[in-house]
Structure 1
Amino acid sequence: MQRFFQAVENLASYPNLLGFAIPNDLLRVLERTVAAPIIRAMVRDIRRYLSLLAVKRNQRIVPVGIFSLDMSLPLKDQFEYCCSGDDNETVDFFVFDYVCFDAKRAMQTSKGPEPLEMFFNTHIPVSFVYGYNRLIPRGFLDTRTIYLHPDMRHVFSGGIVFQFFDGPNRDGLVALTRRNDGRLYYDKTIDYWNLRDSVNMAFVTLPASIIARSRLVETAAMSGTKPKRSHINQNMLAIGQVPASPVNWTEVEAHIIDDGEWVDAGKEWLDLTVEDLTASMWDKLNIDEANS
């Protein structure tokens, strides 16, 4: 928990941070869902820590949600477990892995895709990860559907593109490359430019009246009913109550008030000047200013 607290403390002050999504990959198979109460305990303690930061340091309370990875467990059961019960243990938003999202196929049927129906009456923001590289480069036609189709706008709070950093599958928006000068740079890939164009086209196409009503649409999408507390069934073996917090909250609060550090800096870092540190970090993470 101390490592989690250190991470959220360092990131919570950034104004462009949308939220903290805790992955539930611990629960990939049915047998492991007995540990689901631990995930809820993590949500509870991280939310409490963020609330203390807000009170003691005048920071905003960043939402805490769950990122449900693509797994064999039914999505509805995962959602209901994360959202039911005591308010201090439930998530603020829910993100799931929509690997099979196909905009054309999803919108051709009157019934719509299963997640669209499942979350139509949701009480919290729901989003999904999409954009897997079935084709290279990706055209991101799905992006326009997410923001232009009225049912999609009503149910989902946008989508999250997979993924930011490039990897062996060439599925990133930026790639680490070595230039002629021998230094490493992050360069935007063709996927980045395609995504940007798709987003721009979607919002140019949207009438001004729809953009002005976007907050009303979000309010409607989150006016549903909170799920009732789920019970043990064939899809979710969450046994027992959420465990008590192992955190010494008196000590945590003192740390926040004293503005202490969770991790002691090593002597070699303390001996460096600010200029040395800046130069060192710039060498390790050099972003081309001309293309940024």
Structure 2
Amino acid sequence: ISTIDIVGNKFFYNDTGEQFFLKGIAYQRSRREGEDFDRSKEVPYIDSLANITTCLRDLPLLVELGVNVIRVYQIDPNADHDICMNALASKGIYVLADMAESEMSIVRNNPNWDTTLYTRYTSVVDALHKYNNLLGLIAGNEVTNTKYNTDASPFVRAAIRDVRKYIKNSGYRKIPLGYASNDDPEIRKSLSNYFVCEDPATRCSTADFFGLNTYEWCGYSTYATSGYRDLTIEYSKFPVPIFFSEFGCNAVSPRPFTEVEALYGSTMAKVWSGGIVYEYFQEVNNYGVVKENDDGSVAKLEDFEFLKQRYNSVIPQGITAAEESAREIPKLNCSGQNDIWKANTSLPLIPSSGKCDCIYESFKCTANPANLDNDLLKEICSNIDCSEISANGTTGVYGPYSDCSLQQKLSYVLNKQYIEGGNKTELCDYDGK
């Protein structure tokens, strides 16, 4: 299967130069409530690309839907993905994968980019880079989702910067890296500008693509009334490929998916590179197109037939890579901070495990790995100066040890408090923590 390249603000097949449009679906089963699993041996999430029985069972249904991309939200880097990835490739299906996981991600209300997350993200790269049908990797999903947490975005740009450098230094192919945003009109324009704008100091951290999770079109809406027209005008000169990383409002059920005709029609296809329907598996939020039965089989829901009809009836008309190369795509300058958008273009440090391990080994008082707690860190920092381990995405000020792991940062402040308090045992014991 051919790799997918980015030229200008569009995707193209590497071998033919034909434009590639995403006809995708989110493919991520959640663990059922009360489902038993051994946390000492299993990850707390389900890796959809490592479950051979499930992915081979579902492959004919994905083909029937007319899907050419699946989005998976959590990957176990230690699992074997060969069978599922190769089976998908044999049917022309690509994979868009998030690098975070449920318990290891950039948290919007307490963001950081540290050695633990760096190891997680780069391990996903190591696990998936060899597959030609890896379309791209997502560094963050709706991390900043309101005007009150825009300071989290610099940490995602730092992740893109460092993963890109890791890919290059590892000799891997140039894997596209991007971001998936929610659709908040108050911050949408500033947020998308932030991830693709050219800033001399942070040029290597720009996203290769941008996804928008949008649920504006419900039922039998229209191009104008849904807001799709306004979105298309807003992003008509966007410098990188943009697509709907999630779509499929379920206010009307079953979903008729009438937006598919507009999304892949002549007007929107000039701007948008398609989209990804949310989602394949029926969960409690009622967005699925199939329901998994207790015996392991699946039953098609009404949404399945509607989506199948829509996806298989549209053939978007694109251009060639050569034609796109001849076009001039304007770069975007960074719009800067304002009363609503407070993210700084100064980015967090590149995580350095060598530095962090070195300082950790010098401590006389260290945190118990079984009691790592951000609340405890905040409690201690209310009593002493913690600027050395602090990171602020609004001011762009990052302490020299802000890139260290939670255990190392907690140990840093415990050790500092212990020394400043005269090496008193109770200051290190901290109620057994």
Give the TM-score of the pair, scaled to structure 2.
Answer: 0.48
1:171 to 287, 299, 302: 287
Residue identity in the other structure for 2:280: F
1:214-256, CA deviations, whole angstroms, 9 ceiling, x for partnerless residues? 436993898532210221112211136112201459xxxxxxx
Match of 1:88 in 2: 204
Match of 1:65 in 2: 178
Match of 1:200 in 2: 312
Match of 1:49 in 2: 166
| Equivalent residue runs for 1:186-265 within 5 Å | 186-203=298-315, 210=317, 213-215=318-320, 219=324, 223-239=328-344, 241-247=346-352
SS of structure 1 residue aligned to 2:297? strand
SS of structure 1 residue aligned to 2:163? helix
Q: CA deviation at 1:163?
A: 1.5
**CA distance in 1: counterparts of 2:219 and 2:333, whole angstroms:** 31
Query: Unpaired segments of 5 or more residues in structure 2?
Result: 1-117, 355-433
**CA distance in 1: counterparts of 2:150 and 2:326, whole angstroms:** 29
Q: CA deviation at 1:28?
A: 2.5
Q: Number of residue pairs matched?
A: 233
Between Structure 1 and Structure 2, the one with more helix by share is 1
Task: Flag the structure with larger Rg.
Answer: 2
1:47-104, CA deviations, whole angstroms, 9 ceiling, x for partnerless residues? 2222234x1xxx4322111100244642110011111123310000011122113596
| Equivalent residue runs for 1:4-83 within 5 Å | 4-53=121-170, 55=171, 59-71=172-184, 73-83=186-196
Match of 1:288 in 2: none
**CA distance in 1: counterparts of 2:218 and 2:343, whole angstroms:** 32
State, as a whole percentage, how many aligned pairs show the same letter. 26
Give the TM-score of the pair, scaled to structure 1.
Answer: 0.70
Check conservation: 1:97, 1:130, Cα contact below 8 A.
yes
Check conservation: 1:122, 1:223, Cα contact below 8 A.
no
Residue identity in the other structure for 2:223: M
Question: What's the Cα RMSD here?
Answer: 3.0
**CA distance in 2: counterparts of 1:61 and 1:75, whole angstroms:** 27
Q: CA deviation at 1:112?
A: 6.5
**Bigger RCO (CA 8 Å, 6+ sep):** 1
Query: Unpaired segments of 5 or more residues in structure 1?
Result: 250-292
**CA distance in 1: counterparts of 2:213 and 2:340, whole angstroms:** 18
**CA distance in 1: counterparts of 2:348 and 2:137, whole angstroms:** 21
Q: Residue 199 and residue 52 in structure 1: after superposition, are their counterparts in 2 closer, same or farther (change >3 A)? A: same
